[in-house]
Chain A
Amino acid sequence: EIVLTQSPATLSLSPGDRATLSCRASQNFGSHLAWYQQKPGQAPRLLIDDASNRATGIPARFSGSVSGTDFTLTISSLEPEDFAVYYCQQRNSWPLTFGGGTKVEMK
Chain B
Amino acid sequence: EVQLLESGGGLEQPGGSLRLSCAASGFTFNNYAMNWVRQAPGKGLDWVSTISGDGINTFYADSVKGRFTISRDNSKNTLYMEMDSLRVEDTAVYYCARRTISWGGFDVWGQGTLVTVSS
Contact surface of A with B, Cβ cutoff 8 Å: 32, 34, 36, 38, 43-46, 48-50, 55-56, 87, 89, 91, 94-101
Contacts and interface: CB of A to CB of B under 8 A. Distances in A.
A50 B109 contact: no
Interface stretch (B8-16, B24-32, B98-106): B98-106
Given A43-B109, A95-B62, A96-B50, A49 B44 contact: no
Given A43-B111, A49-B105, 4 more contacts: A34-B106, A43-B95, A91-B104, A101-B44
Interface residues of B, number: 21
Contacts of B50: 96
Interface string B89-116: 0000001000010011111011110000
23 contacts: A34-B105, A43-B109, A43-B110, A43-B111, A43-B112, A44-B37, A44-B95, A44-B106, A44-B109, A49-B104, A49-B105, A49-B107, A55-B105, A87-B45, A89-B45, A89-B47, A89-B106, A91-B103, A91-B104, A95-B62, A96-B47, A99-B44, A101-B44
Interface string B73-103: 0000000000000000000000100001001
A63 B33 CA distance: 26
Interface of B: 37, 44-47, 50, 59-62, 95, 100, 103-107, 109-112
